[in-house]
Structure 1
Amino acid sequence: MPSASFPADFLWGVATAGHQNEGDNVTSDTWFLENVTPTVFQARSGKATNGWELWESDLDLVAGMNLNSYRFSVEWARVEPVEGEFSDEALAHYEALIDGCLARGLAPIVTFNHFTSPHWFASRGAWLDAEAPALFARYCGVIMDRFGDRIRLAVTFNEPDLPEMLTWSGLPDFVADLERATLEAAEREAGVERYRAGNVMLHEDFAGMRAGMTAAHIMGKAAIKERRADLPVGLSLAMCDDVAVPGGEDLVARKRAEVYDYWLSLAADDDFVGVQNYERLHYGPDGLLPAPEGAVVNGMGTAVDPDSLRGAVVYAHDVSGVPVLVSEHGVSTPNDSIRADFIAPSLVGLAQAIVDGVPVLGYCHWTLMDNFEWIFGYGPKLGLHSVDLETFERIAKPSAGVYAQLVREARGL
């Protein structure tokens, strides 16, 4: 790997998310949706990987892979479990996590909203509520007042473009029907007229939710900058590397316009944009092309293509004009040899993007360990470590060692 391509201050990390790892996120919207009937969630998160209790040993795992950064989320539902009431216990926990990162030489990359929000917020209609942006900004201010002086990078939102992306993924109609039934069940259970959430979204709400999250990003960023003007702030986007074969150019252009370009244009006013890339997709005149015969495929059935990262990063920078943070990158597969073989060539492509002039701040592999993957439960495997869901023992996969060695070489350790 051409380590000379990576800047000396390049952030090498892994990414996790609170609800997916911490467990017992009982005052959140996602927890509530998991536990209504019917529900689109294939499993309940429960204790997840028990990261709330095992955070110190998890940080040791991160540091033990020669990394110098760690991306994680602060759970709004824990910090503000009741509207207007902020939990000192939760704030103290996340402050300890921040300080634990710094003690291990890890730069904290903090996501303020990784899909989940408080149950009370969802009961108000989430991002459709007129007061939502101000409520989010107030929460951002509380976080900054407590430990904002120690954050390296701030990510306001994780994948606000995901609902639009999923409309291109070919999910069967029954998924949308079940999502609607889940929200209707939540409304009955909560006794509210409109229960909405960031990762179970109705198509007719897309425009309103987008507008609410846009305003929340702008107001949240302002709250962060008011307290610390020098802190780089951005948002992270789900981005396939969409490639046109002859005749597919119009289709790719339409997908980019529908899914990415709005947010990339918004990011032009930010300090960076996060890119979260998992696949390269090829489009012809009649739509998405299947994976070539004999190709190694991921859990989504698409071909594993390490160069997809370079393509997504280049496109994100071309449109936004701001530096890029690879805030997530990985591969969904139970076959860890695929993951282990995938990392190095992906980083070679990223190095090439840097050589070609794209400013890249860092790379965070998704994810530290197998965890709760939202509506798909515990089925998908994306971790560098496996987890025994009875004992919560973390077991390093070969890919963890591969990544650790690549980072060691890149950092000259």
Structure 2
Amino acid sequence: MIDPFSYKDIRFPKDFLFGAATAGAQIEGNVNSQFDSSAYIEEKKKMGEAFTPAGKSEDSWNHFDEDLALLKQMKLGLYRMSIEWSRVEIRPGKYDESAVMQYVEELKKLKNAGIKICLTLHHFSHPTWFEEKGAFRTLNNISDFERYLQYIVPIVAPYIDYWIVLNEPNMPFQYSISERMNLLSYHVAGYKIVKENSDKPVSSALSYSPKHPFRGSSDKLDSLMANWLDYTENEYFAHAFRTGEVSMPDHDAYVVPGLKNSIDFWAINTYIRQNIDGHKKNFHDSSYDATRLPVLSHPFYMEEMSPEIIINLASRFQDKPILISENGFAVKNDDVRIIYISEMLQEIHQALDMGYNIIGYTHWSLLDNWEWGDYSATFGLASVDGDYQRHLKKSGEFYGKIAMQKQFTQKILREYLNQQPKLK
């Protein structure tokens, strides 16, 4: 690990946003999305994959006020959250108005607390009935997505400061290449509806990880796979919004009307670089012994800290303002999270000094939560006990102090960390 005690004191601009992020399906509990369906759980079993259903998760549906109290305690200025489609549109064209009113009350409370809201309209999860129709595997379902957004967007628009139509439509573990292409058309549909009802900036969040050839650029196979993955996960996304063209290997390219410049800022979710070993079938599954960090009892892709990803993405997406819409570290020892936050904020500040327009940093996550079939990957600034009580961690206190003062200093660091932590 890099030595955070050697970092210089830094100050962030007054309008820089410090925030935290969550997703409804991961914290609310009982959202009844496709991930809760018996068909999905049975499919996971058939594939031999370990899968724990979300269940009540952190029960934020009944504990929103406690979540809000955490945000206020940390003096955060931005909260990224989602509205769960499966809660709102229980059947095609049939809406649960009581659920909608609860969301509205949550938004009002955030605004009354002076917290800006970044709202995600689709964060991986959706109604089972939409999944059964083929979801994003076909363009024939755009009308369902439009109908839902035409209902919900006007209701919540008065409270929203930043919009994210889709979360990580480029995610390979969630979507096939054809789905990734289709989702760009769904984004355009959502962008148009939001713009009809709001003058606030709109985006869709890119899951960004630089692809590093494991043996270096001289290895042709590693480089080939790294470049291929970079295009099919990162570059196709950027190219589409810059040109309007949807293009993928082994597919005919086409232009989607309205796609070009249909984002107002880059929303970037970023955690790590990926070391690509083209000599393995499981090409993502390689790490360097010297930098590997055994921070969890089993691997969860968070085995390396890579603060240089911030400069990498800032230079690559410099044509629009950038919001780091997710960034965090899954680790058991909370002291290690303090080091991770310190590293990332140092790099963000350096990017600002270089002239890149990063407008804010949204930490993933506010709470330890359900990570799409797994509860062991603890990302939270706060933990949740068996009685659903929230407990702000030391890393949350540390992050909150930085957010309140808009600066990282050695004095703040040493209030919460006196020595390099052990990983085990």
The two structures have a TM-score, normalised by structure 2, of 0.80
Deviations 1:122-156 (A, max 9, x none): 11110123332222122222222112022000001
How far did residue 70 of structure 1 move?
A: 0.3
Aligned pairs for 1:379-394 within 5 A: 379-388=376-385, 390-394=386-390
Larger displacement relative to structure 2 (242-251 or 218-227):
242-251
CA contact (8 A) 1:23 1:50 kept: yes
* Contact 2:80-2:120 at 8 Å conserved across structures: yes
Q: Secondary structure at the match of 1:134?
A: helix
Structure 1 partner of 2:360: 362
Structure 2 distance, partners of 1:373, 1:149, is 31
Question: Could you report, residue by residue, the CA deviation over 1:278-331 in whole angstroms, capped at 9, with x for unpaired residues?
Answer: 11234577566522336434543654324144144325415xx22211110011
Aligned residue number for residue 251 of structure 2 = none
Equivalent of 1:29, from 25, 34, 56? 34
Superposed counterparts of 1:43-62, under 5 Å:
43-62=52-71
Q: CA deviation at 1:264?
A: 1.7
The residue that corresponds to 1:233 in the other structure is: 202
Residue 18 of structure 1 is matched in structure 2 by 24
3-state DSSP of counterpart to 1:37: helix
Shift of 1:41: 5.6
Alignment of 1:1-400 (within 5 A): 3-4=10-11, 6-26=12-32, 28-33=33-38, 36-39=41-44, 40=49, 42-163=51-172, 166=173, 199=174, 201=175, 206-228=176-198, 230-244=199-213, 245-247=216-218, 249-268=223-242, 269=261, 270-283=263-276, 290-293=287-290, 295-298=292-295, 299-300=299-300, 303-318=303-318, 321-375=319-373, 377-388=374-385, 390-400=386-396
How many angstroms does 1:210 deviate by?
2.1
2:136, 2:179 within 8 Å by CA — same for their partners in 1?
A: yes
Deviates more, 1:344-353 or 1:259-268: 259-268
Give the distance between the partners of 1:285 and 1:19, measured in 2 at CA: 34
CA distance 1:332–1:246, shift in 2 (3 Å): same
Farther off after superposition, 37-46 or 48-57: 37-46
- Give the stretch that moved more between structures: 259-268 or 30-39: 30-39
Alpha-carbon distance in structure 1 between the residues aligned to 2:21 and 2:88: 20
Alpha-carbon distance between aligned partners in 1 of 2:294 and 2:206, rounded to the nearest angstrom: 23
- The change in CA–CA distance for 1:359 and 1:142 in structure 2 (over 3 A counts) is same
Is the CA contact (8 Å cut-off) linking 1:280 and 1:303 kept in structure 2? no
- 1:332-361 Cα offsets, whole Å, 9 max, x none, are 111211111110121110111122222112
SS at match of 2:139: coil
Residue identity opposite 2:232 in structure 1: E
TM-superposed deviation, 1:32: 0.7
Higher deviation after alignment, 90-99 or 353-362: 353-362
Tell me, in whole angstroms, the C-alpha distance in 1 between the residues paired with 2:124 and 2:301. Answer: 24
Provide the secondary structure at the position in 2 that maps to 1:363.
strand
* SS at 1:53 equivalent: coil
**Structure 2, unaligned stretches of length 5 or more?**
1-7, 243-260, 409-424
Corresponding residue of 1:401: 397
CA distance in 2, matches of 1:383, 1:122: 29
- 1:243 deviates by 3.5
- Partner of residue 257, structure 2: none
TM-aligned CA distance change 1:33 to 1:339, over 3 Å = farther
State how far apart, in whole Å, the 2-side matches of 1:281 and 1:212 are: 25
Q: How many residues align?
A: 367
Q: Distance in 2 between matches of 1:117 and 1:11?
A: 29
Matched letter for residue 97 of structure 1? E
CA deviation after TM superposition for structure 1 residue 35, in Å: 6.5
Give the superposition deviation at 1:250.
4.3
Name the amino acid aligned to 1:59. Answer: L
Deviates further, 110-119 or 132-141: 132-141
Compute the displacement of 1:231 (Å): 1.4
In the alignment, the residues of structure 2 paired with residue 211 and residue 102 of structure 1 have an alpha-carbon distance, to the nearest angstrom, of: 35
2:3 maps to which residue? none
SS in 2 for 1:155: strand
Task: Indicate if the aligned counterparts of 1:241 and 1:277 stay in contact, CA closer than 8 A.
Answer: no
Distance in 1 separating the partners of 2:20 and 2:65: 15
Give the deviation of 1:83 after TM superposition: 0.5
Contact map agreement 1:240 1:281 (CA 8 A) in 2? yes
Which secondary structure state, in structure 1, belongs to the residue aligned with residue 31 of structure 2? coil
Please identify, of 207-216 and 326-335, the stretch whose mean Cα deviation from structure 2 is larger.
Answer: 207-216
Could you say if the C-alpha distance between residues 358 and 19 of structure 1 is closer, same or farther in structure 2, counting changes exceeding 3 Å?
same
Native 8 Å contact 2:314 2:358 kept in 1: no
Deviations 1:138-184 (A, max 9, x none): 22222221120220000011111112xx4xxxxxxxxxxxxxxxxxx
